[in-house]
């Protein structure tokens, strides 16, 4: 029996949303080293992403929390067991 690929049944809107969420998550992870070094506050990165993607800061936080990358201001980047920023939860 063939495994069903859910992406085959994805609508255009769902596909665009998935790609946008992936782009936002990847951009946030690219900047995670700057956040962790303390050079820039996490809120500034969230603000930058919100302006860039025409979303609210809360919307960006929601996307990152859904992906398992962002927890709160004290834990701006969630780590996997190997000490690297979490990427497995993105699911893209």
| Band of residue 33 on the pLDDT scale cut at 50, 70, 90 | confident
Distance from C-alpha of 59 to C-alpha of 49, rounded to nearest angstrom: 10
Mean pLDDT computed over 9-23: 92
Show me where the domains of the chain are located: 16-90
CA dist 73 to 1, 35, 44, 48, 58, Å? Answer: 46, 11, 11, 16, 12
| Band of residue 88 on the pLDDT scale cut at 50, 70, 90 | very low
Q: Say which residue, 51 or 71, is predicted with more confidence.
A: 51
Residue 55 confidence (pLDDT): 96
Please provide the average confidence, as pLDDT, over all residues in the chain: 83
Distance from C-alpha of 45 to C-alpha of 51, rounded to nearest angstrom: 10
Q: By the 8 A CB rule, do 64 and 73 touch?
A: no
């Amino acid at each position: 029996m063939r495994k069903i690929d859910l992406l085959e049944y994805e609508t255009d809107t769902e596909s665009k949303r998935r790609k946008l969420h992936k782009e936002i998550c990847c951009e946030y992870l690219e900047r995670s080293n700057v956040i962790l070094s303390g050079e820039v506050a996490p809120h500034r990165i969230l603000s930058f992403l919100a302006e860039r993607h025409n979303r609210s800061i809360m919307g960006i936080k929601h996307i990152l929390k859904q992906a398992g990358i962002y927890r709160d201001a004290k834990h701006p980047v969630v780590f996997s067991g190997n000490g690297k920023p979490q990427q497995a939860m993105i699911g893209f």
